[in-house]
Amino acid sequence: MSHLATMFAGITLGAFGWGISHWVSGQFEPLDSGAGFLATQIVLAPAAAIAGYRKGIAASFVLVVGGYIGLNGYAYVFGGSESRVWAMRGAISTLLLIIVPAVAGLLGGVAKRLVTRFRRGNETPS
């Protein structure tokens, strides 16, 4: 998957994460309830970890940036006029929603490097 496709996947997952958190918690903003916050983390963190493991740390961060764009895009498009007025504050507060996915992506990338290094170290020379 190219970085463009990874970015698109992140945008889609970010928007889905915000939408699912609204459905799960009954609150529009994921940060307004624990269930909403957890829902966004459950959507984005495993995807970032998988991207980090399969494609590397750079791909996981591209996915997380896409998730950030998707989260804010959903809030802007589906939120009311109040959400649009507070768009900059929302963009800053949603940074909290991407910390866990960013760490998960980093850990996925580190795990991939460790597995690769371990496999190379266990190869027997022919």
Q: What is the mean pLDDT of residues 21-36?
A: 86
Is residue 28 in a domain?
Answer: yes
Q: Do the domain assignments include residue 106? A: yes
**Is-contact 12 26, C-beta < 8 A?**
no
Mean pLDDT of the residues in the chain? 88
Count how many domains the chain has. 1
In this prediction, residue 33 has a pLDDT band, given cuts at 50, 70 and 90, of confident
100 within a domain of the structure (yes/no): yes
Residue 118's pLDDT band, with cuts at 50, 70 and 90, is confident
Q: Is residue 125 part of a domain?
A: no
Question: Does pTM top 0.85 for this prediction?
Answer: no
Q: Which of 3-7, 29-33, 54-58 has the least mean pLDDT? A: 29-33
Residue with tokens 């998957």: 1
In a domain, 123, yes or no: no
Within-domain flag for 126: no
What range does the domain containing 106 cover? 3-118
Q: How far apart are CA 81 and CA 74, in angstroms?
A: 13
In sequence order, which residues have a C-beta less than 8 Å from that of residue 5 and are 6 or more positions away?
none
Least confident span in 24-33, 53-62, 84-93, 109-118? 84-93
Q: Specify the pLDDT at position 124.
A: 60
Domain membership flag for residue 104: yes
Q: Are 71 and 94 in contact (CB under 8 A)?
A: yes
Q: So what's the pLDDT on residue 58?
A: 94
Tell me, yes or no, whether 124 lies in a domain.
no
Q: 28 is written with which tokens?
A: 């529009």
